[in-house]
Amino acid sequence: MVDWIRKSGGFVSSKLAVAQVAPYTGTRGIIVKDSVREGETLFAVPIEACYMSSSQACDQLGIAAARKLSPPMASTLPPQLCLAMLLAHERSKGKRSKWYAYIHSLPEDIPCAWAMSEAEAMHSVKKINHTEAKRLLELRSVVASCLEEDLQRAKQLYGPPFGAAGVDNDSILRWALGMVFSRSYAGESIMALGPLVDMCNHADQAHAPFPGDFNGVQVTAVSAAEALAVGDELCVSYSTQMTEELTWLNYGFLGQASPSLPKHLGTSTAELLLSQT
């Protein structure tokens, strides 16, 4: 993925490495393998070449829909579903996808509570009081039902293009929606997945990702808020505070610091999700 970002006109510092257990959050994250000075830019990801957005989904999948439907309906679907459909469609292409390097880096597991089995969901809330646990489990059922309806709509609209050989549409679409809810940026009417940026965990004192220009290319960049020593974790500051219930629904944990909240640009993914319930 690093080579792909660089070839697309971006920048990734050679001082960075991925750790499966990063020191600050205890989860997968980015660490530095050489000392970093305060304010040093550590990566810059080209927006046009590397970002995957719901607006692109409407453009590309709308063409596919037009072959079967009049008028095409992609623009009427929720942005998170449009983005998930594009992700699933591109995953089915394998190495033919322009986003292959990014898609290949994504985890297979879906962290969201709405995607858990009933037993997994009950286990995840066992440490909180019974009344609150019951409320969260009921909310999870409502959200899961709404999302299942969305998944069925997507499958009916586009069908086979989402399924790679040996993979059913339900599985690939559910995985894609899980990636969108747990990793995306969200704005007023658009959602996007940002390579490398979505691997950074949260710290209050860190800098937020910022737009910039790198050799004439529009990018999203991340810099160090303070000097970092070898082995320190590179974090970013997320601009939206999440309630415990929304954190659980989208990221699958309660009562702890949020190591994998998405990087928001306005309305959160979870708020978009709950607005449909």
Give the whole-angstrom CA distance, residue 183 versus residue 225. Answer: 22
- Between residues 164 and 183, the one the model is more confident about: 183
Q: Are residues 45 and 147 in the same domain?
A: no
Average pLDDT over residues 205-212: 84
Q: How confident is the model at residue 79 (pLDDT cuts 50, 70, 90)?
A: confident
Q: What is the pLDDT of residues 242-276, one digit of tens each?
A: 678 887 898 887 754 443 333 332 233 333 333 33
Please determine, for residue 92, whether its predicted confidence score (pLDDT) is greater than 50: yes
End-to-end CA gap in the chain: 36
Q: Are residues 231 and 248 in the same domain?
A: no
Q: Are residues 2 and 133 in the same domain?
A: no
Q: Are residues 162 and 215 in the same domain?
A: no
Check residue 195 and give its pLDDT: 92
Q: Are residues 204 and 188 in the same domain?
A: no
Q: Are residues 211 and 189 in the same domain?
A: no
Check residue 137 and give its pLDDT: 94
Check residue 159 and give its pLDDT: 59
Which of 68-77, 210-219, 246-255 is least confident? Answer: 68-77
Q: Are residues 120 and 42 in the same domain?
A: no
Q: Are residues 188 and 210 in the same domain?
A: no
Of 75, 81, 40, residue with least CA distance to 59: 75
Q: Are residues 110 and 176 in the same domain?
A: yes
* Alpha helix stretches (DSSP H) within the chain: 2-7, 47-50, 54-66, 79-92, 100-105, 118-124, 130-158, 169-183, 244-251, 269-274
Q: Are residues 178 and 102 in the same domain?
A: yes
Q: Are residues 95 and 138 in the same domain?
A: yes
Number of domains in the chain: 2
* CA distances in angstroms from 235 to 31, 40, 276, listed in the order given: 9, 13, 31
Token pair 């009916």 is found at 156
Q: How confident is the model at residue 160 (pLDDT cuts 50, 70, 90)?
A: low
Give the whole-angstrom CA distance, residue 257 versus residue 249. Answer: 15
Could you tell me the pTM of the whole model? 0.81
For residue 72, what are the domain limits?
56-193+238-277
Which of 36-45, 65-74, 196-205 is least confident? Answer: 65-74
